[in-house]
Amino acid sequence: MTETIVMRHPTLPKYQEIEVPRDAMPHYTAAGWQLVPQEELDARAAAKAKADAEAAAAEEQKAGADASDDTSDEPAEAPTERPARSRTKANPKKDEES
């Protein structure tokens, strides 16, 4: 398996990046693509891991709160309001002529 690298082009938005095989780097650099610094990639990975951990902790906390709130076995009431219907008229179907 070949190792991949992340590159971006200076004329494109910073978030628009590509992942290419390391062996293809000379081809892309000749076309103006630049290697994204490893420090930036590491910082992103750390921020994503932190956010994932916080989301998991919040989900666990919510699940624990939901379990303690659910004291009855009765199902929740169904909503009584119905969504509004569209006010646009549908086009009448045209008869197919053979």
Whether residue 96 is predicted with pLDDT greater than 90 in this model: the reply is no
Which stretches within 3-76 are classed as H helix?
Answer: 25-30, 38-69
Identify the pLDDT of residue 72: 58
Identify the pLDDT of residue 71: 56
Domain ranges of the chain: 38-67
Helical (H) or strand (E) element with 17: strand 17-21
Identify the pLDDT of residue 62: 85
Helix (H, G, I), strand (E, B) or coil at 30: helix
Structure tokens at 14: 């910073």
Kindly state the average pLDDT of the residues 14-36: 95
Contact 38, 22 (CB under 8 A): no
Structure tokens at 21: 């095989």
Helix (H, G, I), strand (E, B) or coil at 45: helix
pLDDT digits (tens, 9 = 90+) for 30-81: 999 999 999 999 999 999 999 999 999 998 888 877 766 555 566 667 667 7
Contact 36, 17 (CB under 8 A): yes
